[in-house]
Chains A and B, each alone.
Chain A
């Protein structure tokens, strides 16, 4: 160690540490702590994506069952709380996880970018003027900071499309997701957009679901090989499930041809509810 020189180290810190916040907030001030947050919120978000995908499989049971599923989500908690309360709480939690996941990702990317003399603007990946050779990094790990923003933008589109009904306009019927899905995904460019975004999502999860084990320090040489398998399985399931919606809609499986109820928020939905009950 150069303890004989006047200044002990000639290299000035690249990142300055601020005043420490009280525990446990101080964890979020460090990169390792932020990776914990990213991993934990990642688990929650993957949980949502899986549940969302499985729930949406109801679409293959027809408009009545899909309507019933949507209603069930609003009535979680039964008569104990006003309708929609639990759903809104879940949504708030989801939003919080999403914001934390995004904020930690963006701030850590910025930290990495500042840690190299030259780095990619989005990826934050260090650049070598003579070029470099990647040996271990997967294509998925290297594109996390690209797939992430793609997913975020897609989520906004998806909400505007099937939750707020911005582009379907008069065709959008609240409470009749089967109809809305058939309308939206029946459109080829929209279906392609969903396919691209969901490939990005599975890609992101393929690395994320492995990476989180490392971030959380879940490491046991005896079981480590299972971490990659699990990540592949989760990403694969999500990919197959989510891609089925646009593809099968395009293939004509989700169609309103055999529908016996009229489409409409009042009469139509009431008819769907009746049908679901008879089932």
Chain B
């Protein structure tokens, strides 16, 4: 598609409205005429301006970078986390993915670990809790070291980079029928666990992150919905890596316990 040759389509939005965490929620219906060149979030912006003009409360939703790298945005669109387009965050989804007359259902990401703050905005701080429990990695701080001083095998660098692509959006949890956070956690564990810089704390980090994850989220049954919903296409392979490392971590952290 080139230039702005967008046409205008009419869509019916069924948007989830909820005044607060404990308030009852429900769907509200709105009609929108929108250019197919507009992004999904621009369509919500337009809706909010209208609501504002009419003296109504705008729909609360989150976004920041709007270029698919910060992980702030994310809603369920027609029953799919981040909507119908593969490997695309909500902010990168465009209205050209929809047809004139479409009905679009918009809901917040749901999980007991992601309580609704308001409307489409949910609290994803449990993901921060998982990251934080991973702690630090030991690196030499001091004069900047030369580039490439630490050899990293190409394959490990590539795979770690794939894992590092996770933007922490939480779509994996939202898409998971078990509300499990395995894909997110395993991406974080795989990222550092594959690199030489992450080796010193590899086992304590894996143990801590998995156990924090399990305080908030469900148990994986290997459906694979997470990876399909993931805007960064994080692979299920990382989940297997995490499962293997977790068992090793339990064994190693025990045998090293006397030295800690």
- Please report A residues at the B interface, Cβ cutoff 8 Å: 1-2, 9-11, 13-17, 23-24, 26-27, 30-36, 108-109, 111-119, 123-126, 128-138, 141-142, 144, 207, 210-211, 213-219, 221, 224
- Given the interface pairs A128-B79, A215-B243, A224-B237, the reply to whether A10 lies near B220 with Cβ below 8 Å is no
CB distance from A265 to the nearest CB of B (A): 46
**Please, which residues of chain A bring their CB within 8 A of the CB of B137?**
none
B113 within 8 Å of A (CB atoms): yes
Q: Which one of A13, A27, A31, A116 contacts B110 once the chains associate, using CB atoms below 8 Å? A: A116
A15 touches B76 (CB 8 A): no
CB distance from B142 to the nearest CB of A (A): 26
Secondary structure call for the A interface:
loop
Which chain A residue lies CB-closest to B247?
Answer: A36
Please report the C-alpha to C-alpha distance between residue A215 and residue B250 in the assembled complex, in whole angstroms: 15
A36 touches B110 (CB 8 A): no
Mask: chain B, 221-255; 1 = CB below 8 Å from A; 0 = not: 11111011100000011011111111100110010
**Please, which residues of chain B bring their CB within 8 A of the CB of A141?**
221-224
A32 touches B177 (CB 8 A): no
A15 touches B221 (CB 8 A): no
**Please, which residues of chain A bring their CB within 8 A of the CB of B254?**
23
Q: A9-B129, A31-B214, A132-B76 are in contact. List 4 more A-B contacts (CB 8 A).
A: A112-B221, A114-B112, A138-B223, A215-B222
Binding stretch for chain A, among B62-70, B94-102, B120-128: B120-128
B245 touches A124 (CB 8 A): no
B128 touches A9 (CB 8 A): yes
Please report the C-alpha to C-alpha distance between residue A141 and residue B111 in the assembled complex, in whole angstroms: 20
**Please, which residues of chain A bring their CB within 8 A of the CB of B115?**
11
- Given the interface pairs A32-B243, A115-B217, A216-B243, the reply to whether A125 lies near B177 with Cβ below 8 Å is yes
A35 touches B243 (CB 8 A): yes
**Please, which residues of chain A bring their CB within 8 A of the CB of B247?**
27, 32-33, 36, 217
Q: Which one of B107, B111, B222, B229 contacts A116 once the chains associate, using CB atoms below 8 Å? A: B111
A112 touches B79 (CB 8 A): no
A14 touches B216 (CB 8 A): yes
B176 within 8 Å of A (CB atoms): yes
B211 within 8 Å of A (CB atoms): yes
- Given the interface pairs A35-B219, A111-B218, the reply to whether A135 lies near B245 with Cβ below 8 Å is no
**Please, which residues of chain A bring their CB within 8 A of the CB of B215?**
13-17
CB distance from A150 to the nearest CB of B (A): 17
- Given the interface pairs A11-B216, A112-B219, A217-B243, the reply to whether A130 lies near B250 with Cβ below 8 Å is no
A2 touches B128 (CB 8 A): yes
B224 touches A137 (CB 8 A): yes
Q: Which one of A10, A115, A128 contacts B178 once the chains associate, using CB atoms below 8 Å? A: A115
Interface size on B, residues (CB 8 A): 61
**Please, which residues of chain A bring their CB within 8 A of the CB of B131?**
1
**Please, which residues of chain B bring their CB within 8 A of the CB of A26?**
250
A115 touches B76 (CB 8 A): no
**Interchain residue pairs with CB less than 8 A apart (27):** A9-B129, A13-B216, A15-B215, A17-B211, A32-B246, A34-B219, A108-B221, A109-B219, A112-B177, A112-B179, A113-B218, A115-B113, A115-B179, A116-B178, A128-B76, A130-B14, A131-B79, A132-B76, A135-B80, A135-B229, A136-B227, A137-B223, A142-B177, A213-B240, A217-B243, A221-B237, A224-B237
Please report the C-alpha to C-alpha distance between residue A215 and residue B251 in the assembled complex, in whole angstroms: 17
A9 touches B125 (CB 8 A): yes
CB distance from B80 to the nearest CB of A (A): 5
B241 touches A112 (CB 8 A): no
Please report the C-alpha to C-alpha distance between residue A36 and residue B45 in the assembled complex, in whole angstroms: 47
CB distance from B201 to the nearest CB of A (A): 18
CB distance from B226 to the nearest CB of A (A): 8
Q: Which one of B79, B178, B216 contacts A124 once the chains associate, using CB atoms below 8 Å? A: B178
B178 touches A137 (CB 8 A): no
**Please, which residues of chain B bring their CB within 8 A of the CB of A2?**
125, 128
B80 touches A14 (CB 8 A): no
- Given the interface pairs A115-B217, A214-B239, the reply to whether A10 lies near B222 with Cβ below 8 Å is no
Q: Which of B16, B110, B175, B178 has the most CB of A within 10 A?
A: B178
B210 within 8 Å of A (CB atoms): yes
**Please, which residues of chain B bring their CB within 8 A of the CB of A124?**
177-178, 218
B112 touches A214 (CB 8 A): no
**Please, which residues of chain B bring their CB within 8 A of the CB of A216?**
240, 243-244
CB distance from A211 to the nearest CB of B (A): 4
Q: Which residues in chain B, 185-223, are within 8 Å of chain A measured between CB atoms?
A: 210-211, 214-223
B78 within 8 Å of A (CB atoms): yes
**Please, which residues of chain B bring their CB within 8 A of the CB of A134?**
177, 223, 225
Please report the C-alpha to C-alpha distance between residue A33 and residue B131 in the assembled complex, in whole angstroms: 20
B240 touches A126 (CB 8 A): no
